[in-house]
Amino acid sequence: MARGVGAPTTATSVRLASLDDLAAIEAIETIVFDSDRLSRRSLRYYLKSRTALLLVVGVNDRVSGYSLVAFRKDSQRARLYSIALDPAEQRRGLGRLLLGASERAAMARGAIAMRLEVRVDNARAIELYEKSGYRGFAVVEDYYEDGAAALRFEKEFALPSDREAL
């Protein structure tokens, strides 16, 4: 019997978000975060901003997650401001795929590193970041609305001369 005959195919892609994705991104934001949510207005702002990059990961043309990377004018460090996946799509490698795409997009904009904050109790995200080469360097007490602390992580990217050697 041929492999895949009769089995549904899954097409996964990461792309720049558009205004057409706003409702799906907002729905994911609402499902995933109990507090510290980005409002529809903020998400719309980031979609149009030159200092931010909003990516979506899609499975069969359905938005299954997003990442928001922010850039500051005089900094070579990008900031992963937010990353979220529809809970129904977790544990399928989409977070790793989206994180990698976010890093490549940041490097393409000239970033030499990316920083992020993550709740101290978000073990799954911490594991993803550590396996992806991020290193913790600070704890920020009372970072979130509910008073939870955050761990601050950073990953330095290979410099162009280092990339050529690979």
Residue in 46, 66, 129, 134 annotated catalytic: 129
Q: Is 144 a catalytic residue?
A: no
Residue in 117, 134, 154, 156 annotated catalytic: 117
| Angle ∠(4,64,31) on CA atoms, nearest 5 | 135
| Cα 166 → chain centroid | 25
Residue in this structure with the two tokens 């970041």, named with its chain if needed: 129
As a whole number of angstroms, the distance between CA 127 and CA 131 comes to: 6
Q: Is 164 a catalytic residue?
A: no
Residue in this structure with the two tokens 């590193």, named with its chain if needed: 113
Amino acid at 5: V
Catalogue the active-site residues. Answer: 117, 129
